[in-house]
Structure 1
Amino acid sequence: MKALKHFLMSPAAMLGLLLLVGIVGLAVFADLLYPRDPLGLAGRPLQWPNPAGRFLLGTDASGRDIAAQIAHGARTTLLMGVVSTLIAIAIGIVVGAVAGFYGGLTDDVLMRLTEAFQTLPNFILLLVLVVVVGSNITAVTIAIGVVSWPAVARLTRAEFLTLRNREFVQACRTLGLTNRWIIFREVLPNALAPIIVYGSVVMATAILLESALAFLDLSDPNIASWGNLIGQGRKVLRSEWYVSAIPGVAILLTILSVSLVGQGLNDALNPRLRNR
């Protein structure tokens, strides 16, 4: 309750939460707001935003409604960000937990594997995976999750190294509980708080990675995506800059909201910060 109260009393966290709720609401009600296909022809190409007209945010170079693409693209962006984050956290937890709990040779092998993944920048490795497995949204989401797990693994390992010799772990061993039970039922729940907080960083990075792929025409072109819209707008950036600027602002607000909520969770779940 103290953590929840501290979170609710944080102006930055509440601002982030309100922004995030608004973006989630836009994604949930996209079909009601814009029931037609967001990638279908809606009017003349490159009409400027007009709040009093038919197209609130204008049209792109193909004559598609930008507002419809923003609404439906919110669903794509959030779903991709959440799923890729869950994939990264799942892989990172398993690798980091096993490495931190067992130590020794197991720790050395898994950490060398983690360092091998971190040798190349995430985006370069992501480009390689997308070229190999394809650029549909499912493949892109899985690829982003696969390249994002090393930092989660190192954080999990650090938490397990501090917890594996605690009294409650020794008591579990005395009772004859299996290592798998101790890892996932006893130690992991005590290590989850910083991992959950770091999930906001992973999600923000995942959104940026997908947008960068779409900007390079390497993401799925058959779905409404903020990154795809930015990529289409680069061809008319000098004259109709709003085509790229509007989805850019949407991405900025989404990442800002996720970051503020993550920071609020960090302050609320960290006793040292909560008691300042």
Structure 2
Amino acid sequence: MTVLDTELRPAEPPRYVVFWQRYRRNRAALLGLILFAVVVLMALTAGLVDPGDPLRRAGLPLIAPFVDAANPLGTDQLGRSILSQLFYGARISLLVGVVATLVSIVIGIVIGALAGYFGGWIDDLLMRITEAFQTIPNFVLLLTLVAILGSKIEWITLAIGIVSWTAPARMVRAEFMSLRNREFVDAARNLGVSNTALIFREILPNALPPIIVYASVIMALSILLESALAFLGLGDPNYASWGNMIGQGRAVLRTAWYCSAIPGVAIVLTVLSFSLLGEGLNDAMNPRQKQ
């Protein structure tokens, strides 16, 4: 190859450009990105829509949607604005989803990395612990933790993260077992790199793509779990959340269906956005995907 051929060769686009080109090929993933952006926008603008307390009384009880200009989506049985609670509930859903996902991913990475890298009795011990957690249904374990820790939103979020780490741990373990004997790991080991550096600097970055994709699934499940707790009356009553809205609205479901239906649609669309985002991330991060 001549110097002229090298100079005439077009420069490769940056990685983020290639990533976006792969992602946007999936139209469903673009829809998920738009839905996610709407939820984030709702959370960011909640204070602008209603700068006061979303749990305060805003009008007469059970005003139907599109009847009162001051309450476009109506009010619940206590006279609280559904629109205000909907926007502030987006904050709670995103908070629970992001923090619980981080907690579960961190726990899963630590346990899966140790089990997959060292193997032997460490692997056996950690996998038996993982299997013990998996024998208990997630929601049953979550109810137990909430009963012990309390119903504050901080403890609920932590409890959701604790019950969601087993799947990430198994994924990380599988990735580490396939990467720990690769040539670049052996080369770093021969240079005297410590086990800690091998785990977190050499192997973990190459094992992250499937974990990042699966994080969208955990976020969706976290929102559903928080909503289920709130529906059962175990949520934090000091915050406006979509689950609380559905749980309180079921008492007037026959006469004011919108009290439960509106937050229910918000939950469905938010969970759908995470599912579509995960699909798009999988397409964009798959090394076998054609450019």
TM-score by length of 2: 0.93
Aligned to 1:65: 81
What is the alpha-carbon distance in structure 1 between the residues aligned to residue 74 and residue 49 of structure 2? 16
What is the alpha-carbon distance in structure 2 between the residues aligned to residue 121 and residue 240 of structure 1? 34
* Structure 1 position 8, deviation (Å): 2.0
What is the alpha-carbon distance in structure 1 between the residues aligned to residue 89 and residue 212 of structure 2? 25
Percent sequence identity is 60
Aligned to 2:242: 226
1:209 to 221, 225, 236: 225
Aligned to 2:157: 141
* Structure 1 position 22, deviation (Å): 1.0
What's the RMSD between the two structures over aligned residues?
1.1
- How many pairs are equivalent? 275
Q: Tell me the SS of whatever aligns to 2:37.
A: helix
What is the alpha-carbon distance in structure 2 between the residues aligned to residue 270 and residue 14 of structure 1? 17
Aligned to 1:120: 136
* Structure 1 position 3, deviation (Å): 2.6
Q: Does 1:196 align with 2:212?
A: yes
Q: Find runs of 4+ consecutive structure 1 residues off by over 3 angstroms.
A: none
* Structure 1 position 127, deviation (Å): 0.0
* Structure 1 position 51, deviation (Å): 6.0
Pair 1:52–1:60, CA change in 2 (3 A): closer
The amino acid that maps onto 1:269 is: M
What is the alpha-carbon distance in structure 2 between the residues aligned to residue 58 and residue 112 of structure 1? 51
What is the alpha-carbon distance in structure 1 between the residues aligned to residue 155 and residue 290 of structure 2? 44
Q: Does 1:275 align with 2:287?
A: no
What is the alpha-carbon distance in structure 2 between the residues aligned to residue 271 and residue 172 of structure 1? 23
Q: Where in structure 2 are the equivalents of 1:237-256 lying within 5 Å?
A: 237-256=253-272
The amino acid that maps onto 2:254 is: R
2:91 to 62, 75, 94: 75
**Cα contact 2:68–2:74 (8 A) shared by 1:** no
What is the alpha-carbon distance in structure 1 between the residues aligned to residue 70 and residue 123 of structure 2? 60
2:280 to 249, 260, 264: 264
* Structure 1 position 10, deviation (Å): 1.8
Larger Rg: 2
TM-score by length of 1: 0.98
What is the alpha-carbon distance in structure 2 between the residues aligned to residue 104 and residue 51 of structure 1? 67
The amino acid that maps onto 2:146 is: V
Q: Does 1:5 align with 2:21?
A: yes
What is the alpha-carbon distance in structure 1 between the residues aligned to residue 32 and residue 72 of structure 2? 25
What is the alpha-carbon distance in structure 2 between the residues aligned to residue 257 and residue 206 of structure 1? 14
Structure 1, unaligned stretches of length 5 or more?
Answer: none
